[in-house]
Structure 1
Amino acid sequence: MPNIRIIDSISDPGSPSRPNEDAAGGNASCAFVIDGATGLGGKSIVGLNGSDAAWLAQFAKDSFEEMVRNGRAMSDIVHEFNACAANVVQEAANALPIEPWNLPIAGFQLVRVEEGGVVTHGLGDCRLFLLGADGAEFDTSAIKGGFADERDGARLAIAHTGGFSAYQALADDPLVRDELRKRRAAYNQSDSGVWTLGTEPAAAKHLATEPLHIGLPASGLLCSDGFAALCDQYGRYSVGEFVKAARDIGLSALLEELRRIERVEDPDGHKFPRFKMSDDATAVLFEIVE
Structure 2
Amino acid sequence: MPNFNNLQYASEPGSPTSPSEDWAQATADLIVVLDGATARTETGCSHGISWYAEHLGKSLLLAAADTTLSLVGVAKSAISRVACLHPECDLTHPGTPSAGIAMLRPDGRYFVLGDVAIVAESTDGIAVIVDERVSQTGVAERAEVDHYLIGTPEKAAALLPMKRAELAARNIPGGYWIAAADPAAADHALVGHLGLDDGAPVAVLTDGAARAEVFGLLDWAGLLDLAVAAGPLELIQRVRAAENSDPLGAKWPRNKASDDATMVTASVAS
Aligned length: 269
Query: Cα RMSD over matched residues?
Result: 2.5
Q: Is the 8 A contact 1:219 1:286 kept in 2?
A: yes
Over 3 Å counting, the alpha-carbon distance change for 1:273 and 1:150 in structure 2 is farther
Give the gaps of 5 or more residues in structure 2: none
Answering whether residue 134 of structure 2 is matched by residue 110 of structure 1, we say no
Q: Percent identity?
A: 25
Q: Which residues of 2 match residues 1-290 of structure 1 at below 5 A?
A: 1-5=1-5, 7-42=7-42, 45-47=45-47, 52-69=48-65, 70-93=67-90, 99-100=93-94, 102-113=95-106, 117-132=107-122, 136-143=125-132, 154-159=142-147, 162-166=148-152, 170=155, 173-189=156-172, 191-231=173-213, 233-263=214-244, 265-290=245-270
Corresponding letter in the other structure for 2:125: A
- The SS at the match of 1:41 is coil
Q: Is the 8 A contact 1:119 1:209 kept in 2?
A: yes
Q: Is the 8 A contact 1:24 1:61 kept in 2?
A: yes
Over 3 Å counting, the alpha-carbon distance change for 1:105 and 1:43 in structure 2 is closer
Q: Is the 8 A contact 2:30 2:105 kept in 1?
A: yes
User: C-alpha displacement at 1:142, in angstroms?
Assistant: 3.1
Give the gaps of 5 or more residues in structure 1: none
Over 3 Å counting, the alpha-carbon distance change for 1:5 and 1:16 in structure 2 is same
Corresponding letter in the other structure for 1:179: M
Over 3 Å counting, the alpha-carbon distance change for 1:183 and 1:151 in structure 2 is closer
TM-score by length of 2: 0.89
User: C-alpha displacement at 1:149, in angstroms?
Assistant: 7.3
Over 3 Å counting, the alpha-carbon distance change for 1:151 and 1:224 in structure 2 is farther
- The SS at the match of 1:164 is coil
Q: Is the 8 A contact 2:44 2:96 kept in 1?
A: no
Question: How far apart are the structure 1 equivalents of 2:180 and 2:92?
Answer: 13
Corresponding letter in the other structure for 1:276: K
TM-score by length of 1: 0.84
Corresponding letter in the other structure for 1:124: G
